[in-house]
Chain A
Amino acid sequence: MPRGWPLLRQAPARMVHNGSLAAMILLSVALLAGLVAAGPVFGSATNAGGLARRLAAIPETTAASLRPVVQVTVRNGPPAAAEPRIRALVDDVPFIADPQTSVFGDAWHLDQRHPTPYLLAGATRLPAVLYFRTGAVDGLQIASGKRGAPGLWVPEAAAEDLGLGPGSRIQIGKTFRYTIPSCGSPFLKLLGKVSGKDTGTTIAVAGTYRTAADGKFPLGPYFSRISSGLPSDPGQCPSTALLLIGDRATVDTALAAVKEMPTWTHIAKLTALGQTPEHLRQAAAAAARLRLMAAQPGSEVADLMAGSGDFQIDSGLPAIHRKADLDAVAARQQGRGIAYAGGALGLAAVVVALRALAQRRRRETELLLGLGTPTWIVVAAGTIELLLPTVLGAGAGWAATCLIFRWFGPNPQLDAAAVQAAGLAAALVAGVTLFCNAFVILGQARAVSRTLEGRPESRWGSQWLPLLTGATVLTVIATLTRDREQTYQDPMAALLPILVLACGCSIVARMAGAVVAEIRRRRGQLAVPVFSVRPSADRLVLRGLRRTGVPVADLIIVLGVGVGVLAYGLLSSAQVNRSVMEKATVLAGASSSARIAHSWLLEGGDGPSPRLAAGASVVWRGSGVLTPDNRVYDLLVVNPTSLRDAASWGSGPELAEAKAALNEFGQPPANPARIASADQSALPPIPALLVGPSDRSVGSTAQLAVAFQKQPIEIRRHLTAFPGAVRPTLVLDARSYFPRLDEEEDPSHQIDRVLEIQGDYTTWIWSRQSLKSVLQLMGAHGIPTQETFTLDQALATPVLTSGRWAAGYQVALGWAAAILAGLAVVVAVDRRVARAAPVDLILRRFGVRPARLLRLRARELALTALGALAVLAIPLALMVVLLPRLVEPDTALPPEMPVRVTALPLLLSVGAAIGVMIVAAIAAARRSASLDPGEVLRDDT
């Protein structure tokens, strides 16, 4: 471009001299780049964050097939030569570490003749299992003996009963001649035909270790962690076996001596480095390949296992990876709508900034085109001018997004690919901005050329409000009529607030303007003053200062929309976070819960109120059919007294009502035994709470059928939510319900028995304490936990998690809108001051002091802020009403999100409006003070 070099040479640094405008462009480009770049980073961070939460929520007691581990189990094996190779195959799975090997005698399972492993000391024979695991001896809490001593470690209680101590000799082996009829019963000698030959060997006792109350379960965190992997009791008890623990050599020697059939396991878990979506994918793929190889005859694994009993490879990695992928998809879907809205808002900001730039550049464009400069040079100069702020803005937006996600996002470890994708998105924004700028300049050049040719400028843009209003009305109708479950998933959820606020503020501001104009007109017609008899000097001064070509109504609308989007974002976030917490509370029931096999394993478990630590309660879950309508309800059989302290009750009115409803159960029956033996038809119906949608009315009675038991119940209260009730549920008082059940067989076990017949009952310990405390409590009682669930796990539910993140995104969007609106107002006020400069100057020469001008401008800005808040009231109220339909996470989960307004978001928004006006007042004061009378009179401002 030979002609234009001075213009083009100076263009790159041009914006450096354009303070406020350069800042506005830089900020708006940064905003757009940040919001667009947030897309890939949000997807990656939610993916990684969801994965991290999902992994953290899997208890170590869970089965290997559900955990992030790879475990090889070889029954009756493996061949000694194959063990190193199998270990190596597991270790080859990427991002897997901390391998642990275990070996224990398992003939009572693997041998069809079911020989019982035993420990014999003196005349006493106890069922006991030889056990080795990497680190097990180190994990024991030693009662007597010295760690490292040769021999086997024996439970303290058993050792006391048998009179054993360190250095004692015991006999171990397996027997076909003795059997155990039930848990806790002594060995009975088999009188029939013996199917095998007993084995035995003598071995030293290395020492004794402390156990839980059951006398078997080794105390200590090591064993609590691996409780699900410990051998079950060959003595028919629902607990772990009595373990004879030794080092590998000792256990191997003993197993060989007694001809035991060992079960060998090798397990390794996912490392911290592997807890990223990509690394997890690699680990899951390798684990899946290993499993596939094991299943193929002739493969290396199959060959290695030849001669062993059977083997299996368990890993939760593929399933966790699949679920993490689903979580990520859900999160992306939920974030997509807001991302679109953010992009639209950012783009609008950029276009507004570019238009402001074009307005300021119009004089130059007129000059250059008037000189006959080719249009492409004008466009090129404008594009080069914008390069610096655009590139800086895009870079700043990209960096800010990455940092914000790193500091406040779901996962501090950002995926490099996502960061790179975000960088590309920011670069794309820079390109789009430059293209838009070229387009705007081209449009302006066209308009200027039309003027130079004596043709009027086209004014097609004045019809935007009717178009905006039509689009908004259609969108509101679509929102009201759509499926309520589709919240956050479509762009409407985030676009609608912006549309409604922009359209509402514009209409209200124009209507208010029309009303004021009408009042003024009538005042003029009637010659009756409406506001005051004589306009004050201040009013006259203000009237002069207002004639600037930048209407106050526009400032009010811009500020109203910005503050409105912020208020909506804050309200939305507060509502969503509260709703998520309430829903998670309903989902979890309590801070932590653990499933156990039977409640009668607990102390005092032969009744409806087992003795537990404070803040814990037993909850029996099942299902029943309510007749005559034959509708299936979930059942929650609870102890109201202990449940009150154990369950989580959230902070909302729904769960507070549920807690209060526990009073409906009243006092427990004075004599349960008498009830159990009484004529059932003569007894009053059992009080019940009905949770969830139902046609049943309060006070109605019905028959509740659980298995083959039918009992009359009376609906005492109909609730919208109850802890643990995610479907229509009946809550019964265990103290009233269980005595009414038929007593069969073992009376002490009756509570679970009827439910057990039904087949789908579960017994849970709910606690307000941490899961660790619950597990310790169960461990102390020697009760293995079969499943655990916590409030954190409930909060980690993808739809709830992504709902919270989406709400956070909405808040960020709100602040961005408020900052942008604030910047636009400040720039407009600066422009107003510049345009009012001649009036300003004349007023000063008339003796109006600068302080008075500043005061008047500050008052006008305060009134503008008030006006913005006033025009905002109606559209914001509409959005508050629509809010639950737009943002409620997981609408299928109770309680339903109510329409609610909290003060803090509104106060913050008002504060933001005040802040903007203070900054604008300061900017106006500085601009006014910097005006040079010479420039003012030459109209060079």
Chain B
Amino acid sequence: MTPDAMATGAMATGAMPPDTVIAESMPSTGESTAGFANVVRIYQAASGEVHALRGVDVDFPRGSVTAIAGPSGGGKSTLLSILALRDRVTAGTVTLFGNDVTRARGTTLKALRRSAIAWVPQRPSHGLLPQLSARDNLVQIARIRGRATGWTPDEALELLGLTARASGRPGRLSGGEQQRLAVAAALMHAPELVVADEPTAELDDPNADRVIAALMAVAAQGTTCVVSTHDSRALRHLPRVLHLRHGVLSAERSGTAESASGQVRTAEAVIDSAGRLQLPPEALRLFPGRRVAVRIERGSVILDPPVDNS
């Protein structure tokens, strides 16, 4: 879904009042870095077809930090892989920096990965070269990117608290240090897009905060960050959270909202191109009978539990 589509489409707000105001806490410019339109990804597995993504529409504005949450097997990693140009869609369209990259050639994707996209894998050791020291890893990745902007290796190490381990090889670092190093490697030289799979999974609170702060810092400079996470600390801190369940984007939360009754959490549910709507869990709890009465009043769609006629 493009920003325009999001702006003009029917917005199901559930229990939120119509005067809800979204308080933007991120320096989004409104310019889109990446966008998914009706993206479907189907894998052939030994047990048959796996529908990892079933028509996802989402947009990632430039300079935004977005968390992808959801249960395991919900499609988070697939979404991130496609976003990082490490996988292709089965159907739908992916745009990146304003260009449709769905059918782009391998060399184009490779060039984009090198110059504009940083990837932090779920297992940090998979994002590091084991034969190089921590600093050499950063130098090497910076040289591969070939950009002269952003942090230098030493700045990245310092920012993530790894200066003392600069000469250590990844095998000699703890799991948390490896994770921070992998994040540092991703943030080197200001990529346009950072895609991180569970970047705080093995970190304690201070280090998780460090990583989140680093992400926020690069986002403030215009880098778009997309991270998948189960980590409640990260979910609390990150301004935009998308929930992905069963390959479908079910809900979206963006900061807080103010209403006449005070501070309330706002959430956005997503209506897919077939008109289906997935409610966020807290809204879903209001409908234990899984039946809903839909009313349209003054431009709003109101969902109520059905009246029991009996």
Q: Smallest CB–CB gap between B61 and chain A, Å?
A: 24
State A456–B90 Cα separation when bound (angstroms): 13
Instruction: Find residues 110-151 in chain B having any chain A CB closer than 8 Å to their own CB.
Output: 110-115, 119, 123, 125-132, 136-137, 139-141, 143-146
State A940–B114 Cα separation when bound (angstroms): 26
Q: Which residues of A contact B174 (CB under 8 A)?
A: 934
State A4–B137 Cα separation when bound (angstroms): 11
State A449–B88 Cα separation when bound (angstroms): 12
Taken residue by residue from 588 to 605, chain A's Cβ proximity to chain B (1 for < 8 Å, 0 otherwise) reads as: 000000000000000000
Q: Which residues of B contact A17 (CB under 8 A)?
A: 131
Q: Is B237 an interface residue (CB 8 A)?
A: no
Are A7 and B140 closer than 8 Å at their CB atoms? yes
CB < 8 Å: which of B112, B130, B141 contacts A364?
Answer: B130
Instruction: Find residues 162-201 in chain B having any chain A CB closer than 8 Å to their own CB.
Output: 171, 174-175, 178
Are A6 and B86 closer than 8 Å at their CB atoms? no
Q: Smallest CB–CB gap between B47 and chain A, Å?
A: 16
Q: Is B205 an interface residue (CB 8 A)?
A: no
Are B141 and A10 closer than 8 Å at their CB atoms? no
Q: Is B106 an interface residue (CB 8 A)?
A: yes
Q: Smallest CB–CB gap between B191 and chain A, Å?
A: 11
Q: Is B257 an interface residue (CB 8 A)?
A: no
Q: Which residues of B contact A371 (CB under 8 A)?
A: 113-114, 119, 141, 144-145
State A452–B175 Cα separation when bound (angstroms): 26
State A366–B113 Cα separation when bound (angstroms): 12
Are A6 and B139 closer than 8 Å at their CB atoms? yes
Q: Which residues of B contact A6 (CB under 8 A)?
A: 132, 136-137, 139-140, 143
Q: Smallest CB–CB gap between A746 and chain B, Å?
A: 96
Are B126 and A10 closer than 8 Å at their CB atoms? no
Q: Which residues of B contact A456 (CB under 8 A)?
A: 44
CB < 8 Å: which of B88, B132, B141 contacts A454?
Answer: B88
Q: Which residues of A contact B125 (CB under 8 A)?
A: 938, 940
Are B87 and A452 closer than 8 Å at their CB atoms? yes
Q: Which residues of A contact B202 (CB under 8 A)?
A: 938
Taken residue by residue from 11 to 47, chain A's Cβ proximity to chain B (1 for < 8 Å, 0 otherwise) reads as: 1001001000000000000000000000000000000
Q: Is A547 an interface residue (CB 8 A)?
A: no
CB < 8 Å: which of B113, B126, B128, B144 contacts A3?
Answer: B144
Given A3-B146, A10-B132, also A367-B127 (CB < 8 A): yes
State A819–B49 Cα separation when bound (angstroms): 45
Q: Is A435 an interface residue (CB 8 A)?
A: no
Closest to A4 in B: B143
Are A5 and B143 closer than 8 Å at their CB atoms? yes
CB < 8 Å: which of B115, B119, B132 contacts A370?
Answer: B119
Q: Smallest CB–CB gap between B247 and chain A, Å?
A: 16
Are A367 and B88 closer than 8 Å at their CB atoms? no
**Best-surrounded residue of B112, B123, B131, B132 (most CB of chain A within 10 A):** B131
Q: Which residues of A contact B141 (CB under 8 A)?
A: 371
Q: Is A549 an interface residue (CB 8 A)?
A: no
Q: Which residues of B contact A370 (CB under 8 A)?
A: 84, 86, 113, 119
Q: Is A253 an interface residue (CB 8 A)?
A: no
What is the predominant secondary structure among interface residues of chain A facing chain B?
helix
Q: Smallest CB–CB gap between A844 and chain B, Å?
A: 20
Instruction: Find residues 268-310 in chain B having any chain A CB closer than 8 Å to their own CB.
Output: none
Q: Smallest CB–CB gap between A16 and chain B, Å?
A: 10
State A4–B87 Cα separation when bound (angstroms): 25
Q: Is A760 an interface residue (CB 8 A)?
A: no
**Best-surrounded residue of A7, A17, A364, A939 (most CB of chain B within 10 A):** A7
Instruction: Find residues 608-631 in chain A having any chain B CB closer than 8 Å to their own CB.
Output: none
CB < 8 Å: which of B110, B119, B136, B175 contacts A10?
Answer: B136
Are B109 and A452 closer than 8 Å at their CB atoms? yes
Are B115 and A372 closer than 8 Å at their CB atoms? yes
Q: Is A363 an interface residue (CB 8 A)?
A: yes
State A369–B136 Cα separation when bound (angstroms): 18
State A369–B111 Cα separation when bound (angstroms): 10
Closest to A17 in B: B131
State A257–B112 Cα separation when bound (angstroms): 112
Q: Which residues of B contact A372 (CB under 8 A)?
A: 110-115, 144-145
CB < 8 Å: which of A364, A452, A940 contacts B129?
Answer: A364
State A727–B106 Cα separation when bound (angstroms): 74
Q: Which residues of B contact A364 (CB under 8 A)?
A: 129-130
Are B126 and A366 closer than 8 Å at their CB atoms? yes
Are B87 and A454 closer than 8 Å at their CB atoms? yes
Q: Is A679 an interface residue (CB 8 A)?
A: no
CB < 8 Å: which of A2, A3, A7 contacts B132?
Answer: A7
Q: Which residues of A contact B115 (CB under 8 A)?
A: 372
Q: Which residues of A contact B106 (CB under 8 A)?
A: 449, 452-453
Q: Is A373 an interface residue (CB 8 A)?
A: yes
Given A7-B140, A373-B114, also A363-B87 (CB < 8 A): no
Q: Which residues of B contact A939 (CB under 8 A)?
A: 123
Are A4 and B129 closer than 8 Å at their CB atoms? no
Q: Which residues of A contact B129 (CB under 8 A)?
A: 7, 364, 367-368
CB < 8 Å: which of B86, B88, B110, B175 contacts A934?
Answer: B175
State A932–B123 Cα separation when bound (angstroms): 17
State A11–B129 Cα separation when bound (angstroms): 11
Are A940 and B143 closer than 8 Å at their CB atoms? no
Closest to A452 in B: B86
State A35–B141 Cα separation when bound (angstroms): 42
State A393–B145 Cα separation when bound (angstroms): 36
Instruction: Find residues 1-53 in chain B having any chain A CB closer than 8 Å to their own CB.
Output: 44
State A933–B202 Cα separation when bound (angstroms): 15
Instruction: Find residues 802-840 in chain A having any chain B CB closer than 8 Å to their own CB.
Output: none
CB < 8 Å: which of B88, B112, B175 contacts A453?
Answer: B88
Q: Which residues of B contact A369 (CB under 8 A)?
A: 110
Q: Smallest CB–CB gap between A445 and chain B, Å?
A: 11
State A291–B107 Cα separation when bound (angstroms): 76
Closest to B124 in A: A938
Closest to B127 in A: A367
Q: Which residues of B contact A2 (CB under 8 A)?
A: 143
Taken residue by residue from 228 to 262, chain B's Cβ proximity to chain A (1 for < 8 Å, 0 otherwise) reads as: 00000000000000000000000000000000000
Q: Which residues of B contact A373 (CB under 8 A)?
A: 114, 144
Closest to B126 in A: A363
Q: Which residues of A contact B145 (CB under 8 A)?
A: 371-372
State A938–B182 Cα separation when bound (angstroms): 14
State A363–B127 Cα separation when bound (angstroms): 9
**Best-surrounded residue of A14, A369, A370 (most CB of chain B within 10 A):** A370
Are B140 and A4 closer than 8 Å at their CB atoms? yes
Closest to A934 in B: B175
State A369–B175 Cα separation when bound (angstroms): 24
State A370–B171 Cα separation when bound (angstroms): 21
Instruction: Find residues 344-377 in chain A having any chain B CB closer than 8 Å to their own CB.
Output: 363-364, 366-373
Q: Which residues of A contact B123 (CB under 8 A)?
A: 938-940
State A252–B113 Cα separation when bound (angstroms): 103
Closest to A8 in B: B140
Q: Which residues of B contact A449 (CB under 8 A)?
A: 106, 110
Q: Smallest CB–CB gap between B75 and chain A, Å?
A: 15
State A2–B146 Cα separation when bound (angstroms): 10
State A72–B188 Cα separation when bound (angstroms): 90
Q: Which residues of B contact A4 (CB under 8 A)?
A: 140, 143-144
Q: Which residues of A contact B139 (CB under 8 A)?
A: 6
Q: Which residues of A contact B113 (CB under 8 A)?
A: 370-372
State A140–B136 Cα separation when bound (angstroms): 87
CB < 8 Å: which of B87, B126, B178 contacts A367?
Answer: B126
**Given A6-B140, A14-B131; 11 other pairs, CB 8 A cutoff:** A4-B144, A6-B132, A6-B137, A7-B140, A10-B136, A11-B131, A364-B130, A369-B110, A449-B106, A453-B88, A455-B88
Q: What are the nearest 8 A-B pairs in CB distance? A: A372-B114, A454-B88, A372-B113, A6-B136, A6-B140, A3-B143, A454-B87, A372-B110
A-B contact pairs, 26 of them (CB 8 A): A4-B140, A4-B143, A6-B137, A7-B132, A7-B140, A10-B131, A10-B136, A14-B131, A17-B131, A363-B126, A366-B126, A367-B126, A368-B144, A369-B110, A371-B114, A371-B141, A371-B144, A371-B145, A372-B145, A373-B114, A449-B110, A452-B109, A452-B110, A453-B109, A934-B174, A939-B123
